[in-house]
C-alpha cells in the first residue's frame, strides 16, 4: 500500500517496585487525576498507592472499578467525576479496568495513564477499548483518537497474581504474528488513524513478539509459578503487553479475535479469560487459512504445554450443540468483525468447520 501508519503509547515503563511510584507518574502528567482502581488492587496495594500520591501533592479522586467494561460502568464513573475536569484519568488493574479508564478519559478530555497489574492482555498500550455488555458478552471495540500517554507495568505485581493471567496473556500474544500475517496477505488496513497500510515496523514487532513467546514462555511460566522475576518473565511481560499491543494495532487482528467474539455470545465460555479464548481462535485461523500441518502441530504443542484451550471442552463449550456453535460462527462474521481480515473463504460454514476441526484434532491428540 502507498499509505502506512504507525501508532503507539507515548511512554512505556516496566520496572520492579513501580506500584510505589504511581504518584510520580501522575505528577508528570498533571496536577489533578481521576484514578480508577481494581478492587483487589485497592485492598492489597491501596495504602502504598495513596502514600505515593501524597508525596507528590497531586489532587486525586479515586473510584473503585465495578468489574465490567460496559456502557453503564463508564457512565457511572463519568457521573461520579461531576464537573471536575482532571488532567489525567488513570486505570490501575487488569485489561477491563484500563479500557474503562480510556473511555472515561476520552469523554473528560483527559490524558491517559494505564498501570497494568497483570500481563494478561495487550490492552494497556492500544488506542482502542473493548467494550462488553453487562453480562460479559462482547459488545464492540471502540477506536479512540489516541493511545495512552503512559503505560506502566510492575513485574513484582505480575508474578504475585495467579499464573493463569500470565498464561492468558501469552495466549493473546500468540495470535499477534498469525493475525498480522492474515492482514498482510489479505491487504487489510490496520487500526491507526481510521485504518492505514501496515508499516514495516509493525510487522517486525509482531514477528519479534512471536520469537520471544517461542523462546521464553515456558521458562517464564515456571518462574512465575514460584513468584520469581527472571529475565524470561520480564521478556514475556514485554511481549504480552508492549509487543503484542503494538503488533495488533499496527498490523490488525483477524479470526483469532473474531472467533473469540463470536463464541463469547455462548454463556459456557464466559468463565474463560480473553487470551484463553483467543488461543483457541488462533488454531482456527491456521485451519481456515490452510496453513501447513507442521505449523498447526507446533501451535497445538505450545498451547497444550501451557494448558491453553485446544478443544471445545477446554473452552467451556463441551456441551454446546452444533446449532449453538453455528450461531457463534455467524456472530464472528458480523459487520466490522476482525474475522473479515482473514486470508480465507469466509462463510458461517467455513468458520464452523474450522472450529469443529480444531476441536477434533485437539481431542484426538489428547487421546
**Closest to 101 (Cα-Cα) out of 143, 142, 140, 65:** 65
What is the reported pLDDT for 89? Answer: 98
Give me the mean pLDDT over the 168-193 stretch: 97
**Closest to 95 (Cα-Cα) out of 33, 172, 20, 195:** 172
Split at pLDDT 50, 70, 90, the class of 316 is: very high
What is the reported pLDDT for 140? Answer: 84
Report pLDDT digits (tens) over 17-27: 999 999 999 99
What is the reported pLDDT for 365? Answer: 97
- Does the structure show a pLDDT above 80 at 138? no
Q: Residue 294 half-sphere exposure, CB side, CA atoms within 13 Å?
A: 0
Report pLDDT digits (tens) over 254-300: 999 999 999 999 999 999 999 999 999 999 999 999 999 999 999 99
- Does the structure show a pLDDT above 90 at 246? yes
Which structural domains are found in the chain, ordered by start?
12-159 (3.40.50.1970), 254-367 (1.20.1090.10)
307 phi-psi bin (left φ>0, alpha ψ -120 to 50, beta other): left
C-beta of residue 198 within 8 angstroms of C-beta of residue 12:
no
Q: How would you label 259-272 residue by residue, b for 16+ Cβ within 10 Å and e otherwise?
A: bbbbbbbbebbeeb
129 forms bridges with which residues in the sheet?
142
- Does the structure show a pLDDT above 90 at 7? yes
What is the reported pLDDT for 1? Answer: 56
- Does the structure show a pLDDT above 80 at 185? yes
Q: What is the spatial distance between Cα 144 and Cα 188, in angstroms, rounded to a whole number?
A: 19
Which residues are designated catalytic?
172, 257, 260, 274
- Does the structure show a pLDDT above 90 at 313? yes
Report pLDDT digits (tens) over 209-235: 999 999 999 999 999 999 999 999 999
- Does the structure show a pLDDT above 60 at 109? yes
pTM of the model: 0.95
Would you call 29 exposed, middle or buried from its count of C-beta atoms within 10 A (0-12, 13-18, 19+)?
Answer: buried
Give me the mean pLDDT over the 310-315 stretch: 98
- Does the structure show a pLDDT above 80 at 116? yes
- Does the structure show a pLDDT above 90 at 139? no
Q: What is the spatial distance between Cα 318 and Cα 165, in angstroms, rounded to a whole number?
A: 23
Q: What is the spatial distance between Cα 113 and Cα 91, in angstroms, rounded to a whole number?
A: 6
Give me the mean pLDDT over the 185-207 stretch: 96
What is the reported pLDDT for 137? Answer: 78
What is the reported pLDDT for 274? Answer: 93
Amino acid at each position: 500500500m502507498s499509505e502506512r501508519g504507525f501508532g503507539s503509547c507515548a511512554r512505556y515503563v516496566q520496572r520492579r517496585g513501580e506500584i510505589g511510584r504511581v504518584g510520580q507518574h501522575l505528577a508528570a502528567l498533571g496536577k489533578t487525576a481521576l484514578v480508577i482502581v481494581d478492587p483487589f488492587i485497592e485492598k492489597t496495594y491501596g495504602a502504598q498507592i495513596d502514600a505515593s500520591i501524597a508525596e507528590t501533592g497531586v489532587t486525586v479522586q479515586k473510584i473503585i472499578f465495578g468489574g465490567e467494561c460496559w456502557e453503564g460502568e463508564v457512565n457511572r464513573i463519568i457521573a461520579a467525576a461531576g464537573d471536575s475536569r482532571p488532567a489525567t484519568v488513570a486505570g490501575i488493574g487488569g485489561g477491563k479496568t484500563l479500557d474503562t479508564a480510556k473511555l472515561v478519559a476520552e469523554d473528560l478530555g483527559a490524558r491517559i495513564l494505564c498501570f497494568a497489574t497483570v500481563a494478561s492482555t495487550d490492552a494497556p498500550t492500544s488506542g482502542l477499548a473493548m467494550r462488553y455488555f453487562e453480562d460479559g458478552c462482547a459488545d464492540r471495540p471502540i477506536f479512540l483518537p489516541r493511545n495512552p500517554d503512559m503505560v506502566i507495568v510492575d513485574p513484582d505485581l505480575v508474578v504475585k497474581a495467579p499464573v493463569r493471567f500470565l498464561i492468558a496473556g501469552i495466549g493473546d500474544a500468540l495470535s499477534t504474528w498469525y493475525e498480522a500475517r492474515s492482514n498482510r496477505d489479505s491487504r487489510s488496513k490496520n487500526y491507526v488513524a481510521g485504518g492505514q497500510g501496515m508499516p514495516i515496523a509493525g510487522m517486525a514487532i509482531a514477528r519479534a513478539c512471536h520469537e520471544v513467546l517461542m523462546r521464553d514462555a515456558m521458562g517464564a511460566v515456571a518462574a512465575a509459578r514460584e513468584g520469581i522475576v527472571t529475565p524470561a518473565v520480564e521478556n514475556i511481560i514485554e511481549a504480552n503487553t508492549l509487543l503484542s499491543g503494538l503488533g495488533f494495532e499496527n498490523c490488525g487482528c483477524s479470526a483469532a479475535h473474531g472467533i473469540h467474539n463470536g463464541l463469547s455470545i455462548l454463556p459456557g465460555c464466559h468463565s474463560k479469560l480473553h487470551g484463553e479464548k483467543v488461543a483457541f481462535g488462533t488454531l482456527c485461523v491456521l485451519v481456515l487459512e490452510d496453513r501447513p500441518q507442521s505449523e498447526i502441530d507446533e501451535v497445538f504443542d505450545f498451547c497444550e504445554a501451557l494448558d491453553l484451550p485446544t478443544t471445545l471442552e477446554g473452552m467451556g463449550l463441551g456441551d454446546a450443540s452444533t446449532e449453538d456453535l453455528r450461531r457463534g460462527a455467524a456472530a464472528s462474521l458480523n459487520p466490522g468483525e476482525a474475522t473479515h481480515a482473514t486470508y480465507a473463504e469466509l462463510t458461517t460454514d467455513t468458520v464452523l468447520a474450522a472450529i469443529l476441526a480444531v476441536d477434533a484434532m485437539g481431542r484426538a491428540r489428547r487421546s
